[in-house]
Structure 1
Amino acid sequence: MNLFNLLNKYTVAILFMLTIFACNQDSHKNFQQKPELISFASPWTSAFIVDSLYPHHFVNNEGEHLLILNKTAWAYFKSEDPEGVLKRAKDQGVNVIRVCLEGALYFETLGMDSWPWGGTRENPDFSKFNEPYWDEVERRIQLAGKYGIGIDLNLYNSLSRKAHELPYQKEYWDETINRLGKYSNIFTWEIMNEYLGDERFQDSVGNYFYKNDPFKRPVITSAGTTDDACWPQKEWMGISIVHTCTGSTAEYDLKDWYFSVAQNSRSHGKPAFNNESGREIRHKNDDPIHRRKQAWIWYTAGCHWTWHSWEGCEGIDDASYRGPGQEFMKPVTDFFRSLPFWEMDPNFTIYNATSSEYFSVTLAEPSRKINIVYLCSLETGKHITDEVANVRLPNGGFKISFINPSTLDTLKVAELQSKGLGKPSPLQIPDFMDDLAIVIERTQAKKQTVIEGTE
């Protein structure tokens, strides 16, 4: 081979490599510069990411933390009264709704099909996009932002089990990021609903959104009801996601099921988010008091919760329907949002019950400046009387407030002087039915002492 042919060979190879590089650069050119964010009033002043300092929680650019109450609203992008959906959600304390970008859930009842591509579901054209639908999606995302509500955006719903077979899907991902990612109230990208099949495809989608969303929102997917989070070890999986589509019946115990699943979900060093709980009738989650307890347990366990009901599914446009227990959602979220919840972690030594008729869940700030104890009977309607618990607190003075979880009324206030961790203090608990919240606030800090005999 002469010198001319050799140079020509390498020239062709170099040109080929440059062409490939240019194509790759072109395919990502829209992601090189962060677009101007369309933002809303608090809390959606900017996009939320996982807080590196408090990795079980979310924070935005302004340092605001987000305590999630999510609500299922699958057909929000197609509902007849989107503003009514948002008003009802806001009244319940909801700040995130879970919506499908693609899906035809409950089509027999609603007749609504969220279809992002050209053509129809029966005769699709995946090389094009349904522009009027995308325009309406953007309008409704902005409307949600004005109501202070974010979007858990589900990319594949009715097509989840065949998404890996569809053509032009990278174009769909690009369109989603470019067109919808500019809104600060897009909370998370959710690949699929209750499906962990086609793991390689989901890894491709997850990694693509993880790497290309300029605002670095969390990416998730979800499985059906399990006792622990799905794929928490994956780097692209930003949240520890679990579903409890279970009921308020005896086989799903508040302590051994709901509390245990919350503990499991929070054990992975990521925010723990139950983004689909049990709904009434279908999942037999019909007891409103039990549903109140489920929410309080999850929040006191340091996790995030969802209100899942017929009203967000088949009944999305029914302005009069309210699911059992929905009236208790705003008080519980108001309570925890009033706290520095992101600084607090589960605690297992502060409160020790002496009765087996109830159990406790505790959330505490590390210095014990503020501590929350939630007491919960296993059975609805159970009265707890004459209980004297033991509390283990550092040296100092503490103000103790006993709160009604359903109304947030203060029932009683007491003072306590602790002599240190080695000397638990007795605490008289007011008689209560079903549940009771206790706020323990440090009023006086004293020099810390170690437990006697451990010096």
Structure 2
Amino acid sequence: MSEQSTPVRAMREWAFETSRAYAEPFTDVRVTATFTDPSGAVSTIEAFHDGDRTWRVRYNPGVAGRWSWRLGSNPPNSDFEQDGEFTVEQAEVRGFLRSTPGEGWGFTWESGEPVFILGDTTYHLFGMAHDSDDGARQVRAFMERRAAQGFNLLRVRLPVSLFHPPDGYNTWQTRRLWAWGGSEQSPRFDRFNVPYFQTVDSVLRWADELGIGIELIMEGWGFEFPFNSRNIFVPEWEELWLRYLVARFDAFGSVTIWTLQNEYEYYPNGDWHYQSNGAVCDRWAIRVGHLMRRIAPHGHIIAIHNGPVMPSFGKRFASDPYVIDTVMFQTWGTVDERDGWLAAGIEDQIPKSLGDWPGSAILSEYGYEFNPDLPPMMLAHQYCDPDHTRRGAWRGAMSGLGIIQGFENTWGPAQVLDQDQAGLTSLLHLRHFFTGLVPFDRLQPVTGLARSSDSAAGHAPLAMATPERDIVVVYLPVGGEVSLEPGLEGHKEHWFDPRIGEMTTHEQRANNVFTPPERPAGDHPDDWVLVLRSMY
């Protein structure tokens, strides 16, 4: 392949040097590249300053054929008045992740392949990679392991937080990780920490190599500086920040989701006061969402992440229902000492919050599995045990959503990246079930199909089925008998054990009442998955 050709959906980069010295290179000039595809369609992306007198342009073409580009600047600079052509060759690639409500579970690759989302929360992955050479090695090894395990999405923040209340100090951090110029006490929002962003480049390249997606959280958390001080971090500085992130990272194939802010209801001053602030956070999300659609040419998913679960998202965005593609939905279920293991209520909250939402969604946060061997930083996690991890994931998946879990080892303050916690294995079993044993993209939740005499909160069975009812799946959070509606007599009965990931044939049917296999009792009742397949 010649230097002037590139495969479809491969990022291409150009570097431009200027003899002109800009006192403030991030603000004194705006450099823009315009691309024209073989059909004549035009798109633009800004160049970004990468230190010294270097500006770079990154673009990821999605159409085969002959392309042209033209560079320009404002104010004009002859060093930035250039143009050229290149050829894009056809290639068999999956392409970018797309939000496709109504298709499968809401996500497909550009190739048309449906996607089962399985993710991990690693907010400070970029920060640890930049902190030290050893940290970078640990990050690379962690990403390789997650990719080999079948994870396809990592939640990562672009600004690094030193602290999360009440006691979550970063135990691994040895250097400043401030993303802007100046300092936290005296910020320069017209400058960016270029070496830090070059590290982010490296991590995104690793993700590209490994085929793992990155959710880039652009602002978060909203309760911390500068996002809680909008009188200092004014809209002009926010837009400069967003434009720099898009110019630098939008062309990466590993960038799957742009999340505007973690728990966006903290806008504008770091307090959750959704009901009393006139829903200004929704107006902010709509405004920033439209900005992203104007400046980000590659069509990556635009998402918001919630704190409060109500009002519903259809009501929140009724005035502009399609500017946001995806809700990265947070709801934890029960997390108390008595019922934390049960993760009850997740499946009830999902339809209340998302039932009127026209876009896609992922259960992106439902707790962080506690590690009692670490110093207690977040006691709110202490009853999020491996049972909570497993049952919460099944409740989300049985609601037709992809799953992202969090672990104390990896979410932020501790960063014990070389050790997986106990609950992770059950996530791998869940992924194997939905991608290897049943066709997840054909299954949708069905209410009323399965019933139980156990009326305790969180004990009710959850059912999914294909439109033809040739496959029926029922999750029993606490085991026990389950009765199904008539018409399934011609189906073969199988049982999947979500704790060990094994499928068995076990015929205990009596008048459409099914009973799971018996296992030695543990601390809590066993959960089981019933699978019925038509024999015709």
**TM-score if structure 1 supplies the norm length?**
0.78
| Mapped pair 1:175 → 2:264 | no
8 Å contact from structure 1 (residues 372, 439) kept in 2:
yes
Aligned to 1:287: 385
Supply the RMSD in Å over aligned alpha carbons: 3.3
- Cα distance between partner residues in 2 of 1:298 and 1:44: 29
The amino acid that maps onto 1:221 is: I
- Cα distance between partner residues in 2 of 1:429 and 1:407: 15
Number of positions where the alignment pairs a residue of Structure 1 with one of Structure 2: 402
Distance 1:274 1:285, change over 3 A: farther
| Mapped pair 1:363 → 2:461 | no
**1:116-168, Cα deviation, whole Å (9 max, x unpaired):** 33344344332233222222111101112323321111111243223552644
- Cα distance between partner residues in 1 of 2:403 and 2:454: 28
- Cα distance between partner residues in 1 of 2:143 and 2:298: 25
Distance 1:277 1:396, change over 3 A: closer
SS of the equivalent of 2:397 reads helix
**1:50-100, Cα deviation, whole Å (9 max, x unpaired):** 115427411121112222222111111121121133144346543211111
SS of the equivalent of 2:380 reads coil
Structure 1 segment 222-301 matched on structure 2, within 5 A = 222-226=305-309, 231=316, 233=318, 234-245=321-332, 247=335, 249-250=337-338, 254=342, 257-267=345-355, 268-279=357-368, 280=370, 281-301=379-399
The amino acid that maps onto 1:85 is: F
8 Å contact from structure 1 (residues 126, 168) kept in 2:
yes
8 Å contact from structure 2 (residues 472, 532) kept in 1:
yes
| Residue range with higher mean Cα deviation, 324-333 or 110-119 | 110-119
| Residue range with higher mean Cα deviation, 58-67 or 333-342 | 333-342
**1:352-397, Cα deviation, whole Å (9 max, x unpaired):** 22444742111111111222111111xxxxx74xx3x332254772
Aligned to 2:429: 331
Give the C-alpha shift of residue 213 in structure 1. 2.6
Give the C-alpha shift of residue 244 in structure 1. 2.7
The amino acid that maps onto 2:347 is: F
8 Å contact from structure 2 (residues 335, 343) kept in 1:
no
- Cα distance between partner residues in 1 of 2:341 and 2:127: 37
SS of the equivalent of 1:438 reads strand
SS of the equivalent of 1:82 reads helix
The partner residue of 2:254 within 166, 180, 185 is 185
The partner residue of 1:71 within 104, 120, 123 is 120
The partner residue of 1:153 within 216, 221, 246 is 216
Distance 1:285 1:150, change over 3 A: farther
8 Å contact from structure 2 (residues 180, 188) kept in 1:
yes
The partner residue of 2:517 within 409, 412, 430 is 430
Aligned to 1:390: 483
| Mapped pair 1:340 → 2:439 | yes
Work out the percentage of aligned pairs sharing the same amino acid. Answer: 20
Aligned to 2:205: 142
Distance 1:88 1:36, change over 3 A: closer
8 Å contact from structure 1 (residues 47, 61) kept in 2:
yes
- Cα distance between partner residues in 2 of 1:276 and 1:414: 37
8 Å contact from structure 1 (residues 350, 393) kept in 2:
no
Structure 1 segment 124-139 matched on structure 2, within 5 A = 124-139=187-202
8 Å contact from structure 1 (residues 229, 241) kept in 2:
no
| Mapped pair 1:109 → 2:171 | yes
SS of the equivalent of 2:211 reads coil
8 Å contact from structure 2 (residues 100, 360) kept in 1:
no
Give the C-alpha shift of residue 441 in structure 1. 1.6
SS of the equivalent of 1:125 reads strand
8 Å contact from structure 1 (residues 154, 191) kept in 2:
yes
The partner residue of 2:288 within 205, 217, 234 is 205
Aligned to 1:400: 493
The amino acid that maps onto 1:220 is: A
5+ residue gaps, structure 1, are: 1-24, 378-382, 418-423, 445-455
Aligned to 1:17: none
| Mapped pair 1:36 → 2:60 | yes
8 Å contact from structure 2 (residues 489, 512) kept in 1:
no
8 Å contact from structure 2 (residues 258, 301) kept in 1:
yes
- Cα distance between partner residues in 1 of 2:470 and 2:311: 31
- Cα distance between partner residues in 2 of 1:257 and 1:372: 19
- Cα distance between partner residues in 2 of 1:132 and 1:256: 45
8 Å contact from structure 1 (residues 276, 307) kept in 2:
yes
Aligned to 1:95: 152
The amino acid that maps onto 1:147 is: L
- Cα distance between partner residues in 2 of 1:122 and 1:321: 36
- Cα distance between partner residues in 1 of 2:414 and 2:360: 28
SS of the equivalent of 1:169 reads helix
Aligned to 1:449: none
Give the C-alpha shift of residue 431 in structure 1. 3.3
The amino acid that maps onto 1:178 is: A
Distance 1:293 1:265, change over 3 A: same
Give the C-alpha shift of residue 27 in structure 1. 6.9
SS of the equivalent of 2:199 reads helix
5+ residue gaps, structure 2, are: 1-29, 36-41, 46-58, 63-91, 129-134, 164-168, 269-280, 371-378, 520-524
- Cα distance between partner residues in 2 of 1:181 and 1:96: 16
- Cα distance between partner residues in 1 of 2:486 and 2:256: 38
Distance 1:70 1:205, change over 3 A: same
8 Å contact from structure 1 (residues 210, 218) kept in 2:
no
- Cα distance between partner residues in 2 of 1:56 and 1:264: 18
8 Å contact from structure 1 (residues 278, 284) kept in 2:
no
Give the C-alpha shift of residue 176 in structure 1. 1.9
The partner residue of 2:401 within 258, 279, 303 is 303
| Structure with the largest fraction of helix | 1
8 Å contact from structure 2 (residues 364, 404) kept in 1:
yes
8 Å contact from structure 2 (residues 119, 405) kept in 1:
yes
8 Å contact from structure 1 (residues 368, 394) kept in 2:
no
SS of the equivalent of 1:301 reads coil
| Residue range with higher mean Cα deviation, 228-237 or 97-106 | 228-237
